[in-house]
Structure 1
């Protein structure tokens, strides 16, 4: 079986990505909360940012949180698929994924706070 190449590959990859985002939104409450947060912060970013670079940082760090949550959810799905019995490494993998999301949220708070302070507050 030959692999799809060229524009068709991009098309199918996009469909799979959309399928993944829909699955995360449907099955992962944390992802839902973070999407709702993004939906509130995205319009606010146009008001807070004074430059295109600031806007990119504000939106980019929010997208980073969503990306990290998708990766965390993927880790959790694979670990859960492997079995339900307790396993120290499985628990560690889940905790590490969660920690990555946590750090992403800290980065987001720092970027937003720093830009707001630099711009003289709200």
Structure 2
């Protein structure tokens, strides 16, 4: 008997469940993800309060959300590398370093957005 894949609403519900499971496993196993979520929880209300327009709020909040998003992708890359490569290999290290660089750039982007948006409102 051929397997039938879920479609429509059932597929959406299943996908949501897989997404929640991914967030939970990353939270459980990745300290960096937990730290980034803590920063996100502290700065999200601040971004809503400090942003004076919808665009500013979107920039402040969107740049913050980008950091854990990239961390999720980086953690996925690291899990795959660790799963399929038990030995130390140059390409494995390169993949992990590139993922880490992506997280660094996301943090740099968020920091820059916050600095530029807030510099418009405060004379430093």
TM-score by length of 2: 0.95
Check 1:8–1:121 CA distance in 2 against 1; reply closer, same or farther (3 A cut).
farther
Task: For residues 49-71 of structure 1, give each alpha carbon's deviation from its aligned partner in whole angstroms, at most 9, with x where no partner exists.
Answer: 00011111111111111110000
CA RMSD after TM alignment: 1.1
Q: Which residue of 2 aligns with 1:10?
A: 12
Q: Which residue of 1 aligns with 2:81?
A: 79
Matched length: 122
TM-score by length of 1: 0.96
Q: Which residue of 1 aligns with 2:43?
A: 41
Distance 1:119 1:81 in 2: 48
CA positional deviation for 1:120 = 2.6
Task: For residues 31-51 of structure 1, give each alpha carbon's deviation from its aligned partner in whole angstroms, at most 9, with x where no partner exists.
Answer: 000000001101101221000
Q: Which residue of 2 aligns with 1:67?
A: 69
Q: Specify every segment of 5 or more residues in structure 2 that has no aligned partner in the other structure, as ranges.
A: none
Distance 2:121 2:55 in 1: 13
Task: For residues 48-95 of structure 1, give each alpha carbon's deviation from its aligned partner in whole angstroms, at most 9, with x where no partner exists.
Answer: 100011111111111111110000000000000012211100100000
Asked if the contact 2:48–2:61 (Cα under 8 Å) also holds between the matched residues in 1, the reply is no
